[in-house]
Structure 1
Amino acid sequence: MPRPLWSGVISFGLVTIPVKLMSATEDHSVRFHQVHTEDGGRVRVRKYCEAEDREVSAGDIGKGYEVSKDTLVEVTDEELEQMPLPTAKAIEIVAFVPAASIDPVRLSGDSYFLQYDGPVAAKPYALIVRALARNTKVAVAKLAWHGREHLVLLRVRDGALVAHVLKWDDEVRDPSAKKTAAAKKPARRQRGA
């Protein structure tokens, strides 16, 4: 089993269940490195500072948020750690909904197993698994991870809880906007015309 990527609790009402989050998938894609065709040497990417036109080390690189096209505001790790994330160590269930009500376009592709953490968590974990399986429902929850709050879908698979990362409402494009843009597009000219 892979090592835990996150640990915390599932929380709903007065119930908290200690859990560990582990990747549910493996990537077996073939990956290539860039090489110099003349001598087979590895090609590396170097980090350059635009203002000084020189290479910088990893220790000299921070984070910046783009406010406008030419304006970056530097954000420190300490400032990010102080941001209030209510779900910092909890998967907070916000609703139980029918599985069919979740639009598949909202699934991001990232899936994780939730394993109960410790013998005390085994019984409440089994209860939530049974309740979700019996009612063919899924739980929609919030999870803070890597400094960002994510929306997740919790469902049962082979007796275990699985968390699927969901897209937020504003991350899903409106299909009617595509139809409008296509309607405004001029017709293509045929060859030879």
Structure 2
Amino acid sequence: MRLVRSIWNGAISFGLVSIPIKLVNATESHSISFRQIHTEDGGRIRYRKVCELEEREVTQSEIGKGYEDADGTIIPITDEDLARLPLPTARTIEIVAFVPGDRIDPLQMDAAYYLAAGGAPAAKPYTLLREALKRSNKVAIAKFALRGRERLGMLRVVGDAIAMHGLLWPDEVRAPEGVAPDAGVTVRDKELDLADALMDTLGEVDLADLHDEYREAVEEVIAAKAAGEAPPEAPERAEGGKVLDLMAALENSVRAAKESRGEEAESGEVRRLPGGTGRAAPKETGGKKSTAKKAPAKKTAAARKSTATKKPAAGKSTAKKAAASKSGQAKKQTQKKSTAKKAASRKRSA
């Protein structure tokens, strides 16, 4: 890991064992930041720190902390005041308990940090704590003070390092009251089976393969405008209709998921579960007939036209054959009459 500036120096209190450590940010933001500008001329918009009493801009070195009382009075608080707080966690990460990891509600998770050993003397106790956490399959719950307030933390092993997740205090997590639907909804077993099939079809994903597509798209826009080119346009999305049939929507989702993974359902479509409703997908509103239904009708009409055009040709051929047959019969009759006349002529002459 590349060297990162520590944001806090202190020690882990593990019973009577003290482990000097440095607190390092475990995450970094890759989001693209924008500056505020004047849209008319592109000038930067800046904020200046001005003292209200003197009405002048002040430097960072002149700025301190103050607490505003209920009557509006500002009570100055210095860094020395905070350093003398009667708290054991002022410069110490005090471990208070060890609990199974699944006891921690993910809603409490906050910022993440790495705890780096503070020098060679810290190597042995640091490794001891790390291996103890590994063997117990537990996490350590600790209290520490950072940026002017006491916080709750969870220590766990990440690779060969100890990481600490800041935790919200339990009273800082809101209860999910009024979030779930009020109306009583019954989910059928067939719908759950299809939902399970969809989950199995989508499968798992390696989180390392996921990336921020929005940030990449913004970078493309910035690069295009910097080069004096028109920014790329997003393709138009097909408008989705309202989901009126949950079973049909689930079946279509399973089918689409299989196609995206290069799989094919049996007979080209997803089978309905036994005892299904057998309802088709809802028709589009607006009185327009489905395009899928028109296609067979067009084919049938085309087939009829083709058959109709071929019949006259067959009729003409039959008529020609009949005419030829009559012509042949007429010639035979003429030849017979001619032979009879010759025979009669011979008798008369005799």
Give the TM-score range, shorter chain. Answer: 0.7 to 0.9
1:5: Cα distance to partner? 1.7
**More helix by proportion, 1 or 2?**
2
Identify the match of residue 91 of structure 1 among 77, 93, 107: 93
1:77: Cα distance to partner? 3.3
1:64: Cα distance to partner? 2.5
- Indicate whether 1:130 and 2:131 are aligned: yes
When residues 126 and 76 of structure 1 are mapped into structure 2, their CA distance, relative to the original with a 3 A threshold, is closer
Alpha-carbon distance in 1 for matches of 2:130, 2:165: 15
Contact 2:94–2:143 (CA under 8 A) maintained in structure 1: yes
Aligned AA for 2:138? K
Alpha-carbon distance in 1 for matches of 2:79, 2:65: 8
- Indicate whether 1:76 and 2:78 are aligned: yes
Contact 2:69–2:75 (CA under 8 A) maintained in structure 1: yes
TM-score (norm 2): 0.47
**More strand by proportion, 1 or 2?**
1
Task: State the partner residue of 2:48.
Answer: 46
1:15-68 CA distance string (max 9 Å, x none): 111111111111111000111122222111123445x48344135543232332
1:148-180 CA distance string (max 9 Å, x none): 22111100111210011111122112223x46x
TM-score (norm 1): 0.81
1:82: Cα distance to partner? 2.7
Identify the structure with bigger relative contact order (alpha carbons < 8 Å, sequence gap 6+): 1
Q: Which runs of 5+ in 1 are unaligned?
A: 184-193
Q: Say which SS state the counterpart of residue 175 (structure 1) adopts.
A: coil
Contact 1:140–1:152 (CA under 8 A) maintained in structure 2: yes
- Indicate whether 1:33 and 2:59 are aligned: no
1:87: Cα distance to partner? 1.4
List aligned pairs for 1:30-179, cutoff 5 A: 30-50=32-52, 52=53, 54-58=55-59, 59-68=61-70, 70-108=72-110, 110-176=111-177, 178=178
Contact 1:142–1:151 (CA under 8 A) maintained in structure 2: yes
Structure label with greater radius of gyration: 2
Structure 1 ranges of 4+ moved more than 4 A:
none
Query: Percent identity among equivalent residues?
Result: 52
1:115: Cα distance to partner? 1.5
